[in-house]
Amino acid sequence: MSALTRRAFTASAPLALAAFARPGVAQPSRTRPLVIAHRGASGERPEHTLAAYQRAIDQGADFIEPDLVMTRDGVLVARHENEISGTTDVADRPDFADRRTERLIDGVKAAGWFTEDFTLAELKTLRARERLPDLRPASAAFDGQQTIPTFQEVVDLADAESRRTGRTIGTYPEMKHPTYFEARGLPMGTSLAAALRDNGLDQRDAPVFVQCFEPKPLRAFRGISAAPTVMLVGAGRLSDSLLAEVAEFADGLGPELRMVLDVAAPGLPATGLIARAQAAGMKVHPWTVRSENSFLPAALRQGEDPAGHGDAASLLRAVFGAGADGVFTDFPELAVKVRQEMFGA
């Protein structure tokens, strides 16, 4: 697998959700792209909290996405990174001051507090914070109200809300730094596969996707689980031969937006990657649509305030119009509205 380097992989015909059946739950039309709530409704609530996931579900998201890292006692928890000083109040906790350290993670040096140095019980004493408070002050108003959820809690929420709403709510876990955790005696892929089996999600037609930026762990995961897999990519051009190689172990491709749209050109034309990946047999779920000016192409920004909201609706229309099978977004309510305009209720 020499062509699949970490540098190349740093970060469709619509998916038939009818295959993701829960008893007594209505299924969306197979012609509509998925709305994937990136870390929950993370534009409105601190990311990776049950409140963010709940809000996304209430707004109509099809999937909720937890990034997964591991605790010292081997529990999968939802955090953007295993370094948690920016997403919790750990730096304000004198009882954990001596846990601050430095680590080399995937070749990058990081300093702070790391989930693998805490038991789940210890992490549960921390409170979540907004990671981007300057851009999202309204979300930061909810700081301190939520704990770090386990993956099991996220799955339980999706299951309970599927039953309550009568529609399937899927989960879309990302394995973060699996090679790093494996080297520390915390086998993330094995733990995730076991969790999926325990929850009846270790099936080809289960309402779940397992995603990762690292090709080797994702290929290994494919060997121990039947759950659908998605290869995340964030740089470089993907040749047809490389797409075919990825399709050997991935059911989907998760490319950065600028790989599927020419964000500098008028009208945001498609690059052709979506069609080529679909021709290789994969679904395509680009990431990530955010509403703040700071994240939008220059032509879609409104005003000078980086935290102000621009024309993200036009970006969503371009993604859906290019044939994406789904889209990651921090603002699922807007994505659901645009999808309804384009594809019907």
Instruction: Please give the positions annotated as active site.
Output: 38, 80
DSSP 136-203: -HHHHTTTTS--PPBHHHHHHHHHHHHHHHTB--EE--EE-SHHHHHHTT--HHHHHHHHHHHTT--S
How far, in Å, CA of 286 to CA of 322, rounded? 11
Helices (H), the chain: 50-58, 120-123, 137-140, 151-165, 178-183, 188-198, 215-222, 240-246, 257-260, 273-279, 312-321, 332-343
Q: What is the side-by-side strand order in the sheet with 283-284?
A: 76-78, 67-70, 174-175, 210-212, 229-233, 252-255, 283-284
